[in-house]
Amino acid sequence: MKRRLYKGTDYRRAHSIDELREVARRRVPNFCFEYVEGGSDDEVTLKRNRSVFEEIGFVPRTLVDVSARSQAIDLFGKPSAAPFMIGPTGFSGLLTREGDLALARAAAFAGIPYILSNASTMRLEDVVRRAGGRVWMQLYLYRTRDYAARLVDRMKAVGVEALVVTTDSAIFGNREWDRRNYARPLKLDLRNTIDVMLHPRWIFDVLVPHGVPRFANLGDMLPPGQDSVQGAASAISKELDPSLNWSDIRWLRDIWPGKLIVKGVMCAEDAVTAVNTGADGIVLSNHGGRQLDGAVSSMEILPEVAAAVGGRLTVMLDGGFRRGSDIVKARALGADAVLLGRATTYGLAAGGEAGVAHAINLLKTEVDRVVGLLGCSDLSQLDAGYIRWPGHPEVSGNSAPRFEEKKRVTLAPVRRFPAETPLEKEVLS
């Protein structure tokens, strides 16, 4: 019998993130899925983000007692239940009603941070109040710097822990496959219009009765009444600032007292500059393959960056993570944590909040299994000695460097992850 992934619409039957992706594809209109899925130009970087993990092999230890395991980590001095978090994904309300809140609630229940997108469809204050947990906020530095200052004030008022400034979008990438769904800007072509009509569940979840979701955290920058998709697209295109540079990060450091994270770093030199600018953390990121096509993956530059700045700031990364084994490889090569983008977004599109919880549970279970099979009782034991990456200048053969072990933290007792989390059962009941 031919092997095949599950092709239905019940997210609970998905055994992997790839299967959740297929469920998501069926449950939302094509233009929504393409918005999530697509990359720039020929999508070379998009593919590279995934293929790089196949080059990296594990070197497990044997006859090690792994009867008690934990994947809990310390992140900015606070415990986190897993070595990953949900990164910022814009316009989540297009996938399900109050999508930003669904992501935040699932993250809070799982004990991991959530980063609210600058392009969210729910206000920061509402997400923090209704979700609880560790809500961080993403910021794009537009030409209107006063907008950033006002958003920082709002973050202070609700006690946001960390500000994540995205630096790789001063110029928009060329996402051709996304644009092909439209007859003209923001007007779906006939094929996609018909496809929307074939998704009544999505229509009554997202469009009825309020219409297309609006951007809720860009209101301080947009002209009055222009927070719709059409109005915002025109305004934002004029607000992109190609002159963005490190002096802008220093300005942000001066007005923001909390944790400052620079997202979009892709070389060791910039990572060192981030340290010197006062950043508390960085995210190695090529924007999910949606900006510069042909860029290297964040995993490829992780060992070099970790060697250059490890211990001086928190090193995180995103790009192509679909398996717990991917996350463990990143930890072994020096990352403190991983940001998830499409992986949890597939869960959101496939099953709302419970679908996100299912995606998190799948990855937690996989991380737990991989760590045990490697012969580790907790993640702090991992280093590059557990990795072989032939051909990589920093990690190859028996000369693989062993990075300094992270400071040990108090770890939570091992948890077993059932097929359905309590959150899933609560939502389904």
- Annotated binding-site members for glyoxylate: 35, 140, 175, 263, 287, 290
Output the six-digit token pair for 403.
Answer: 């990075």
What are the beta bridge partners of residue 58?
387
Q: What is the pLDDT of residue 398?
A: 42
What pLDDT is stored for residue 226 in this prediction?
65
Domain ranges of the chain: 11-174+238-428
Q: Show Cβ contacts of residue 308 under 8 Å, excluding neighbours closer than 6 positions.
A: 268, 271, 272
pTM of the model: 0.90
- Give the Cα separation of 391 and 189 in Å (integer): 46
Q: What share of the chain is helix, strand, coil (3-state, %, to 5)?
A: 45, 15, 40
Angle between helices 324-332 and 298-309 (to 10 degrees): 30
Give the per-residue pLDDT at 227.
65
Cis peptide before 401 (omega within 30 of 0): no
Q: Binding site for FMN: residue ranges?
A: 88-90, 117, 138, 166, 285, 318-322, 341-342
Task: Determine the pLDDT at residue 233.
Answer: 65
What does each of the 429 residues of the chain score in pLDDT, given as a tens digit? Answer: 889 889 899 999 999 999 999 999 999 999 999 999 999 999 999 999 999 999 999 999 999 999 999 999 999 999 999 999 999 999 999 999 999 999 999 999 999 999 999 999 999 999 999 999 999 999 999 888 888 999 999 999 999 999 999 999 888 889 998 889 998 877 899 999 999 999 999 999 999 988 888 888 887 777 666 666 666 666 677 777 889 999 999 999 999 999 999 999 999 999 999 999 999 999 999 999 999 999 999 999 999 999 999 899 999 999 999 999 999 999 999 999 999 999 999 999 999 999 999 999 999 999 999 999 999 999 999 999 999 999 888 886 544 343 343 343 333 443 434 445 545 454 444
221 by Cβ neighbours in 10 Å (0-12 / 13-18 / 19+) ranks as buried
Going from the C-alpha of 31 to that of each of 60, 214, 311, 414, the distances in angstroms are 43, 17, 42, 41
Tell me which of 199, 287, 358, 392 is the catalytic residue. 287
Catalytic annotation present for 358 = no
Annotated binding site: 35, 88-90, 117, 138, 140, 166, 175, 263, 285, 287, 290, 318-322, 341-342
Q: What is the residue-wise DSSP string for 282-305?
A: EEE--GGGTSSTTPPPHHHHHHHH
Class of domain 11-174+238-428: alpha beta
| Per-residue buried b or exposed e for 16-39, using 16+ beta carbons within 10 Å of the residue's own CB | bbebbbbbbbebbbbbbbbbbbbb
- Strand pairing partners for 263? 166, 283
Tokens of 424: 């899933």
